Structure 1
Amino acid sequence: AAYAGGSLGMGVWVTVPGLLLLYFLTDVLAVPAFLAGLTLLLPKVVDIVVHPFLGSRSDREAVRFGHRRRMMRSGVLLGAAMVAMFSVPSALTGGPAALWVGCWFVVGNLLFARFQVPYLTTASDLLVGYHERTRVFMFRMLCLTVGLLCAGVAAPALTAAGGRDDYTRMALLLATVMAVTSVVALSGVRRLTEGCGVRAPDGAGGHSTLADLRLAWRDRDYRALVLSYLFTGTTTHLFLAALPYFTEYVFEDSGLTALLMGLFLAPALFAGPLWTAWSRRFGKQRGLLLSQAAFAAGSLALLLGALLGGVPGIAVTAVVVVVMGVSFAGLQLFAFSMVPDVVAAAEAGGSAKAGGSAKAGAYTGLWTATEATGTAVGPYVYSAVLALGGFVSSTAGEHVAQPGSAMTALLVGFTAVPAALMAAALWFQRRYTLDRRPA
């Protein structure tokens, strides 16, 4: 539980920028939609390079020090970066404001990566089996869900007035939570590794990052899992970024954002144990495929709520969002718990073994780089759809009537586009074979 507690702060960082940053740029700072999308996308280019490097560095530190906790200390500073990101000077709007936000987003992503990579690699180090890995990630997912839920409900509620100061106060409050949970996670990682035991490092700490990446990418099952999760992460973060626009312009009630986020995330509190039971009976692969299919179907079903409008439309949307929330819990639990399975198979002599044991940190670094890419590509795809539809940006307190083309783009980007992206994720995931092999 102490180890999983670190996911509370991770949930805050994943949720708040993913849910509010695009809307903050376009409807508070008057940044054009296309430029706002680039502001979220370009910092993630840094992540694509940094995460694999940190994965290899984490492996080297495990060899040298016997643990991976040194880099995790950066998590304590992550909250400060989020406060700075949402504290844009009042004189800045448009392009200069986008530059301010983008620079601090880079800093925050770097701090987050230094915490996240060794934190998640811990599960691959543990001397536990197939079902025990699912159990570890079930606890992590429950804490992550609490972080996502609290941030997903609190952040929109605290910024409902739409002023710049509201965003700063929101960031200050949630930054405190992030700092505390980072300290808890450091203790939790130490206690979990001491209690379960860890695989002895193979001593191959001198491999280059590029060599580690090649080693991981040659693993066919890992490659299928990574490509599938790239599209999964893109879809879910597109959903988060688009939700404030959907409630504001379709139902004309921005207060619904907090409600729908609660309905989306709350099911994971009970769905996690249920998905864990499913995994024991049917395996993780079938659960992940089912979750992907249900999320894609739910994305299309959201169009019905928009067409109905009013109270009936809100009711239908609420029900669909709950179903998608159950699916989201499965997407997170199964995908993350399958990464240690692939690492364990590689170290036991699977497809990725090449002159030594697999590099757990390298696998995790590439995985988290993929996750970071999805968090950026999702909002960028939605912003590009808005830009193509002629969406008009505005400043805080200003309400702009959108043209019909923008409303069409807003709906298509929230329904058909994520359904297509998740279908691609399912296509790649079907190429994963590890669960089909005899135990």
Structure 2
Amino acid sequence: MAPEPPSQRSDELPRSTRIGYGLGSVATGSFGTVPGLLLLPYLTDRLGIGAGLAGLMVFLPKAWDVVLNPIAGRISDRSTHPAGPRRPFLLRAGLLLAVLFAIMFAGPQSPTALAGGWVVVAFLACASAYAFFQVPYVAMPAELTDSYDERTRLMTWRVAILALAILVSGGLSPMVRDEFGYAGVGIFVGALIAIGALAAWRGTASARMHPVVSAEGSFTEQLRIVRASRPFRFLLITFVIQALATGVMLAGVDYVARNVLHDKALSSVLFVCFVGPALLVTPLWQRYAERRDKRSGFLISSVLLGGGALATLLGMHLGAVPAALAVAVVGVGYAGAQMFPMAMLPDVAAEDARRSGQNRIGVFTGVWTAGETLGLALGPFVYAAVLALGGYVSSTDGLAAQPDSAVTAIGVGFSVLPALLVAVSLLYLMRYRLDPPTREQR
């Protein structure tokens, strides 16, 4: 590794490392987005599975990660691989995930029981591989740098690339589906996941890690210590509830386009409006964090997230353009609601490591990603439950006429429900406290 140029501060990461690390979000963004966007419609409107059962089928494999993610964190904490404790997981688990994702949409479409079973087993395998990619990946920032502000800059790159990855994977996947079918979606997204995994593995090859002493004690004891962290607990609860709200909206995009706005092509438009603003506003959120603080930025972005969701209720009744504008407000809030907590998590974990002298970063991130996974998994499940309560009619061609009650459920589930969830999350965010270091300490 070449010596740092004199102009570069010792705590500042090279741009190549920031970008390399950020490119891992191509994998996390693609896998985190497309199943939530298209897997539920695939089950209800291609395989003909009832909305309630389809929601359960999407939820259960992801719920498995709630158990597996902390274990993956613990395993990566104790890794002694010469290439570093985290990087080998990026390559192996990332490439395995890419292959499994392509397989998930390549199964039979009849009989229904066989087709549904194929999806559940393949999605469970995907979720398992993803745990061993995502947890080490999220743990890396706390070990890449000791700097409070540098972690914010690192997260800015990550969130910006994440937004682009979500925009590409989620925006193009409905078009790929319409042109090449769901099997085409599997290949397309699998390729994106492979690219992201390889880029993160290669891009962090020259990074100098900042190891701390490995944690002692049993896994249960470590979880108990992590749970006892008040800042982490409130930050996690806030993030999980907002992940649920985001998952609900994401699951509803395709249904709103087809059944409320009566144009399936608007699925991509609404999705782009949801994610696109992040490419513009994420650097602005970063400046806010550096000049003020991350917590207040998280509060403001959360209000925009929830307020924009509520505004879509009116927007959907006024037409496609007002609906898209309301979703764009959601997108501005979503950018901050992703960047701020992901930049705050390494602060919490690094502060714990500083005080204890032990490396529990992997356990922190394992619990974090388990919570995030649970929230995102519950999103389609909750939205499917709303559809079932509204009497949504499943089919194998997506052309079934829907009763008025189902159309109402589609709209309310997409707008009012996520707004209420964000409002609840603010009650916990207000209780989060972790004083940022002074400028001299940064």
> Is TM more than 0.5 here?
yes
Amino acid at match of 2:371: T
Match of 2:263 in 1: 253
TM-superposed deviation, 1:437 = 7.9
Match of 1:92 in 2: 111
Separation (CA, whole Å) in 1 of partners of 2:82 and 2:219: 17
What is the alpha-carbon root mean square deviation over aligned residues? 1.7
Match of 1:391 in 2: 392
- For each residue in 1:173-201, what CA deviation from the matched residue of structure 2 results, as whole angstroms up to 9, or x when unmatched? 22122212211111223223x2xx41x33
Counterpart secondary structure, 1:421: helix
| 1:239-250 superposed matches below 5 A | 239-250=249-260
Match of 2:98 in 1: 79
Q: Which range moves more in the overlay, 49-58 or 4-13?
A: 4-13
- For each residue in 1:384-408, what CA deviation from the matched residue of structure 2 results, as whole angstroms up to 9, or x when unmatched? 0111111110112x41111121112
Separation (CA, whole Å) in 2 of partners of 1:437 and 1:203: 25
Counterpart secondary structure, 1:70: helix
Match of 1:159 in 2: 177
8 A Cα contact 1:264 1:324, kept in partner: yes
**Percent same amino acid among aligned pairs?**
38
Amino acid at match of 1:409: A
Amino acid at match of 2:109: S
Separation (CA, whole Å) in 1 of partners of 2:80 and 2:375: 28
TM-superposed deviation, 1:64 = 8.5
Separation (CA, whole Å) in 2 of partners of 1:48 and 1:256: 33
Structure 1 spans left out of the alignment, 5+ residues: none
Structure 2 spans left out of the alignment, 5+ residues: 1-18
What's the TM-score, normalizing by structure 2? 0.91
Counterpart secondary structure, 2:182: helix
The reply on whether 1:425 has 2:425 as its aligned counterpart is yes
Amino acid at match of 1:127: T
Counterpart secondary structure, 1:291: helix
The reply on whether 1:293 has 2:303 as its aligned counterpart is yes
The reply on whether 1:39 has 2:57 as its aligned counterpart is yes
Amino acid at match of 2:415: T
The reply on whether 1:110 has 2:116 as its aligned counterpart is no
Separation (CA, whole Å) in 2 of partners of 1:292 and 1:207: 37
- For each residue in 1:1-45, what CA deviation from the matched residue of structure 2 results, as whole angstroms up to 9, or x when unmatched? 111111112211111101101111111110100000000111122
Separation (CA, whole Å) in 2 of partners of 1:129 and 1:364: 18
Match of 2:186 in 1: 171
The reply on whether 1:273 has 2:293 as its aligned counterpart is no
TM-superposed deviation, 1:67 = 2.6
TM-superposed deviation, 1:317 = 1.0
TM-superposed deviation, 1:66 = 4.6
* Equivalent in 199, 204, 216 of residue 226 of structure 2: 216
- For each residue in 1:254-296, what CA deviation from the matched residue of structure 2 results, as whole angstroms up to 9, or x when unmatched? 1001111112211111211100001012211011111111111
Match of 2:332 in 1: 326
Aligned residue pair count: 420
Separation (CA, whole Å) in 2 of partners of 1:429 and 1:435: 14
Counterpart secondary structure, 2:85: coil
Amino acid at match of 2:212: P
Match of 1:131 in 2: 149
8 A Cα contact 2:390 2:406, kept in partner: yes
Separation (CA, whole Å) in 1 of partners of 2:253 and 2:259: 10
8 A Cα contact 2:214 2:358, kept in partner: no
8 A Cα contact 1:19 1:241, kept in partner: yes
8 A Cα contact 2:63 2:377, kept in partner: no
Separation (CA, whole Å) in 1 of partners of 2:96 and 2:156: 27
Separation (CA, whole Å) in 2 of partners of 1:82 and 1:67: 25
Match of 2:213 in 1: 202
Provide runs of 4+ in structure 1 moved above 6 Å. Answer: 436-439
